[in-house]
Amino acid sequence: MNVVLIDYGAGNLHSVEKALLAAGVPVRRSADPEEAREARALVLPGQGHFGQVMRSFERSGFAPVVADHLASDAPFLGICVGLQLLTRGSEEAPGVPGLGVLDAEVRRFPAGAASVPQMGWNQLWPLGAPALLRGVPAGAFVYFANSYYVTFPAGAVPEGAETIYGATRFLSAVSLGRLHATQFHPEKSQAVGLQVLRNFGDVVRGDAP
């Protein structure tokens, strides 16, 4: 199983790598786009300001590699801002385009409805039957650290999961083919997070669609 954890300066790599290994997913960290191009599966983490992360990602040379990987429907996992980078763009950084892989935008939680950022545990409610969430019960708690969330046009919401924060119901996981991404942090979500990462390992091995 050839899984590459993309190192483009996003931080949080050690905890993601450690959690993947604990879940039985043999991963290696790489800052080399050409090495990532040969991988069967890619993992894209991210944390921080959308504009800064997107610019760092573009400078790294990984953007065309990830675009080609996703175009081939190869296994992929995005985490936190690693999900948001796949969209057209974010209210956090107007004028900075995302990768545009997902027909979606990133919006800020409305003020006053709940404390922003969302920091801590919240629940997952599956949409459809995504392979990434096999064995994860409805209502399971996972860990979030986000001020922004991904939104799709009406009628175009993919499989995945949703979460309710204050008055906002938002997508906390997205699954399209072998593209999987989470707004929550599986590497910080204890047993549930490890199950999510094991499921991704099954996708990579071909044990799940």
Q: What is the pLDDT of residues 17-67, one digit of tens each?
A: 999 999 999 999 999 999 999 999 999 998 889 999 999 999 999 999 999
Distance CA 42, CA 53 (A): 17
Q: Name the nearest CA neighbour of 200 among 72, 65, 52, 78.
A: 78
Catalytic choice (17, 92, 105, 187)? 187
Q: Name the nearest CA neighbour of 196 among 1, 14, 22, 11.
A: 22
Catalytic choice (17, 69, 80, 105)? 80
Q: Please count the CA atoms within 13 angstroms of the CA of 90 that sit on its side-chain side.
A: 24
Q: Which fold has domain 3-205?
A: Rossmann fold (3.40.50)
Catalytic choice (17, 92, 159, 185)? 185
Considering Cα of 22, then 200, then 86, then 74, what sign does the dihedral take? Answer: positive
- 187 labelled catalytic: yes
- 80 labelled catalytic: yes
Give the residue with greater pLDDT, 175 vs 208: 175
- pLDDT for residue 209: 60
Q: Tell me: the pLDDT tens digits for 57-100?
A: 999 999 999 999 999 999 999 999 999 999 999 999 999 999 99
**CB-based burial of residue 102 (10 Å sphere; 0-12 exposed, 13-18 middle, 19+ buried)?**
buried
Q: Name the nearest CA neighbour of 6 among 24, 29, 27.
A: 29
Distance CA 90, CA 94 (A): 6
